[in-house]
Structure 1
Amino acid sequence: MILTTARLTLRLLTADDWPLFFALHNDSQVIEKCFDKPSEAQIRAKFNERLKPWQPNSNQPLCMVISESGSGKQVGVTGFTASQLADTQEVGYLLLPEFYSRGYATESLDAFLTWARGEFNLQLIKAVVSAGNIGSEKVLAKCGFKLVRVEPLAYEIGGVLMDDHHYLLDCTDKI
């Protein structure tokens, strides 16, 4: 499965993508507003989980690698993880810092969501962003997500409790 945009190509994660996945989960700029730095064993377990086949409601993550179409340079990853809510998938994305502020997160997420809504009978798509991750909040808003709840002091990063901002995209609104 391959998705394309004007500037990007998205394809399923493969075992060869370990260096990118590892880099994304180790770069302090990438993870500072997302999570504490995991151990290599934790990253490997997360990576292996994302290599398994995905189907809606399977509780398996779906991970796609984002690359620049022209250069072939790997930009980051996007995809779904299992959600606690029925009929809901949770979306996430991580990009390497050298590709920030180019619109790649919005472009790739929009393409991924357009494909997913057309391919599967998704009702809701969820995203959770830690307070202060303004770039991700802007991406979600551009892709049609609405802030539905702020959960105070819900998540700890670097020893600091942060609010979680919960977003939803109602897939029945537009396809």
Structure 2
Amino acid sequence: MAKVIAFNKPFGVICQFSGEGDTLANYVNIPDIYPVGRLDKDSEGLVILTDDGYLQNRVSDPKYKKIKTYVVQVEGEITNTATSALEKGVKLKDGMTKPASIKKIEEPDWLWDRSNPIRKRKNIPTSWIEISISEGRNRQVRRMTACVGFPTLRLIRISVDRWKLGNIKVGSYVSF
């Protein structure tokens, strides 16, 4: 039976088991498992790990259109024009994004403190959105929000396909 692990990746952790710096190996000591997709070093939240190559491919390959959902803090009060553009898809250097599902939200009450705090500017407010995408381009959500004029300050993945972050503590994991 396949091993499937849901890990809450902290900010600054590199989404691989080997190499320099803070890696998955510092948190998960289970042999022969690999991340299903990646989260960049500056992002936090749900990373699925498995020893099943078929499952890994089915979830990470964009042709299967598996939905990934993120909670995102952006710089500025995001506008309806910006969210509408994100919903339709935006043109990035590597082409148009597929339509996304977007909703404005309040700052989540379950947020944990981050090891490297978000910069705060006195005269520039921030806002929060929940965004769901079916692609997985490099730094896609960050590039999308920047494209519509609202740079990402904090990005937390809360679900990948059927797996949810739930109450997994930062730096911890659960098995399925």
Which structure shows the higher strand fraction? 1
Which structure has the larger Rg over C-alpha atoms?
2
Same fold (TM over 0.5): no
TM-score using structure 1 length:
0.25
Q: TM-score, normalised by structure 2?
A: 0.25
**Larger RCO, structure (CA 8 Å, separation 6 or more):** 2
More helix by share: 1
